[in-house]
Amino acid sequence: MAHLRLSKQIALPKCANTAPAVLQLFPWTSQDDIFALWHGRWGSKQAQWQDLVLNQFAGLVAVGRDGRVDIISPDSPSSPPMSFRVPSNAAAGKTRTHVAWCLRTSYPFDPLVVMTYNRCLFIWDTRKRAVVGFLRGHGGPITSIAVHPISPNIFATTSTDFTTRIYNLDILPDAEKRVNPIFRPWKGPSTAGAAQGFDHPESDGSGIGRLAVLLAGGIYGGHLWDVTGAAFHATLPLIATCGADHYVKIWRCILDKSRTQEDKPIFSAKLATSRILGIKWLSEDLLLVQTGRTYTPSMDSGEWPEETPDSEEPTTTYEKTVPGQLVVFQWLSLRRFFPRGRKPEEVEHVRFISTDWQTSNSHSIIAKMSLKSPREDRQRDEWISNIGQQLCPELGFVYPEAVDVRRIQLVEMPVANLDDDDNEEDHQPKRGRFESIPLLSNADASTLRQRCAEACVVTNQGDMLIVDAQSNVWQLKKLLNT
């Protein structure tokens, strides 16, 4: 039975399409959101929140493509999009243009769009329709943006330079240009920066925003390959990262007025045999990761070589493709670092040992699900998900050729409680299983076939938006009887 119906097609302005598009839905859609942001600091401004934010921005979608952002309204497809392009003097790149919605603490009714272009960040004011901030510092292309769910003035970027950088939009960048010493035989000061790009001789940028925390890569505990995703904990000063090195790491995220650097996480574990594409907190101690496909050398039962009939080696080998997975695991050391009865800000010093930041065993796998291809001849395609969507209401997955669209949810299974003491609740193992629900009818799947989907998001109403390689956004409406 179909759960979604193909509703409309929205054509975007044409562009070069040198890299896949990125979708980001405006995350705040109700009056209750103003009470959650910054722990209710602006809760008395409900009327302004409704008039200036919800009435004007709820339902809008930001589409990042090739150094530009187009903000569209699926409910008004004929309205021209609000568009922004990076300055013409920006360094060119063929990487994804990631986008995210942010708010400043002092200006909560003026939404901002943060977009990446190669190694740089541009902050765009949607009311002024102008760039209000420019940030740099990464040594490689940026791979994702993660925004704090409670404090949207805080966001993190991951990069191929093995690092994760956490920024604060409430602070102005350090515009002072550092002067390095002169080394002979060169006549001018050195233009090199410190390891991980923490103290670069150039300024951090201009406008609003500044680097607050640098999570360094390297052999002392950081990622050893591209960092592909990050996710903030909603209530604790923690951030989880994942990377192409097959590792998941959890770091403390203490924001101060001065810049800090962390090179050792408080949790590090290898949870896959391939790169990890995205990560998401499901609850206080449960995390979800999506892994990529694995190429495993597999022996072929072919003919034996004529010259060595007794050889134990086969004549040929081939690559066997193992599909990616969804993995949910429980972090078992949460209460060791954040005991019950103590506020997170009271835990100033976190003590950990070498096994925490090297290869920790303080985790338990709760559920796994294989993301198999719906087509036998296209086993090497990755499923596209909305794990990186801000305040994601539910998980949606789209196969690149859009022949299959699914909703996947984790169903928690009951566990026998062997101890009546409530304080032992954290020590009880958790169990769960995935449920995969196909959403499209055969007719709609046939219409979307060969459209080459690039990104998807899910709305709070259960609708889904998909962008394809031909610069089209497809709206799939949820049926009322589902």
> Tens digits of per-residue pLDDT, 66-123?
889 999 999 888 888 899 988 766 656 678 899 999 999 999 999 999 999 888 999 9
Q: How confident is the model at residue 303 (pLDDT cuts 50, 70, 90)?
A: very low
For the CA atoms of 244, 245, 250, 255, the dihedral, rounded to the nearest 10 degrees, stands at -70
Side-chain-facing half-sphere of 301: CA atoms under 13 Å: 0
Q: Which of 331, 335, 358 is nearest to 347 (CA)?
A: 335
Average pLDDT over residues 422-451: 70
Q: Which residues contact 126 (CB under 8 A, 6 or more apart)?
A: 57, 71, 82, 110, 111, 112, 113
CB 329 within 8 A of CB 286: yes
Predicted local distance difference test score (pLDDT) of residue 297: 63
CB 401 within 8 A of CB 440: no
Q: Which helix (H) or strand (E) holds 361?
A: none
Average pLDDT over residues 26-50: 92
Predicted local distance difference test score (pLDDT) of residue 364: 92
CB 192 within 8 A of CB 246: no
Q: What is the largest CA-CA distance in the chain?
A: 85
Q: Which helix (H) or strand (E) holds 325?
A: strand 324-331
Choice between 180 and 452, residue whose per-residue pLDDT is larger: 452
Handedness of CA 193, 195, 199, 205 (dihedral sign): positive
CA 481 – CA 394 distance, rounded (Å):
18
CA 208 – CA 336 distance, rounded (Å):
37
Name beta bridge partners: 398.
384, 405
Q: Which of 292, 378, 366 is nearest to 330 (CA)?
A: 366
Using a 10 angstrom Cβ sphere, with 0-12 exposed, 13-18 middle and 19 or more buried, the burial of residue 230 is: buried
Confidence check: pLDDT of 321 > 90: no
Choice between 317 and 161, residue whose per-residue pLDDT is larger: 161
Average pLDDT over residues 203-230: 88
Predicted local distance difference test score (pLDDT) of residue 446: 76
Predicted local distance difference test score (pLDDT) of residue 246: 93
Task: Count CB-CB contacts under 10 A for residue 80.
Answer: 9
Predicted local distance difference test score (pLDDT) of residue 200: 58
Q: Which segment, 179-183, 309-313, 395-399, 429-433, is predicted with the most confidence on average?
A: 395-399
Using a 10 angstrom Cβ sphere, with 0-12 exposed, 13-18 middle and 19 or more buried, the burial of residue 383 is: buried
Tokens representing 463 are 């609708």
Tokens representing 251 are 């770091």
Average pLDDT over residues 255-260: 77
Predicted local distance difference test score (pLDDT) of residue 478: 87
- Point out the least confidently predicted range of 2-11, 39-48, 403-412, 419-428: 419-428
Predicted local distance difference test score (pLDDT) of residue 92: 60
Choice between 297 and 390, residue whose per-residue pLDDT is larger: 390
CA 407 – CA 416 distance, rounded (Å):
29
Q: Which of 4, 5, 6, 9 is nearest to 473 (CA)?
A: 9
CA-based radius of gyration for the chain:
24
The mean pLDDT value of the chain amounts to: 82
CB 54 within 8 A of CB 30: yes
Share of the chain above pLDDT 70, in %: 79
DSSP H helical ranges for 408-457: 442-448
- Point out the least confidently predicted range of 357-361, 388-392, 417-421: 417-421
- SS3 state at 468: strand
What's the pTM?
A: 0.87
Bridge-based pairing of strands 142-147 and 164-168 is unpaired
Q: How confident is the model at residue 422 (pLDDT cuts 50, 70, 90)?
A: very low
CA 243 – CA 248 distance, rounded (Å):
7
- Segment 235-244, tens digit of pLDDT: 999 999 999 9
Q: How confident is the model at residue 419 (pLDDT cuts 50, 70, 90)?
A: very low
C-alpha pair distances (Å), 379 with each of 165, 214, 302, 373, 382: 34, 37, 22, 6, 8
Residue type, 205: G
- SS3 state at 445: helix
CA 344 – CA 234 distance, rounded (Å):
12
Predicted local distance difference test score (pLDDT) of residue 240: 96
CA 168 – CA 156 distance, rounded (Å):
9
CA 358 – CA 374 distance, rounded (Å):
37
Confidence check: pLDDT of 199 > 60: no
Using a 10 angstrom Cβ sphere, with 0-12 exposed, 13-18 middle and 19 or more buried, the burial of residue 109 is: middle
Bridge-based pairing of strands 210-215 and 260-262 is parallel
Share of the chain above pLDDT 90, in %: 41
Choice between 2 and 119, residue whose per-residue pLDDT is larger: 119
Q: Which segment, 284-288, 352-356, 425-429, is predicted with the most confidence on average?
A: 284-288
Query: Phi first, then psi: what are they for 166, rounded to 5°?
Result: -110, 125
Using a 10 angstrom Cβ sphere, with 0-12 exposed, 13-18 middle and 19 or more buried, the burial of residue 188 is: exposed
Tokens representing 48 are 């302004």
Cis previous bond, 438, omega within 30: no
Q: How confident is the model at residue 301 (pLDDT cuts 50, 70, 90)?
A: very low
Predicted local distance difference test score (pLDDT) of residue 319: 60
Confidence check: pLDDT of 186 > 70: no
Predicted local distance difference test score (pLDDT) of residue 414: 57
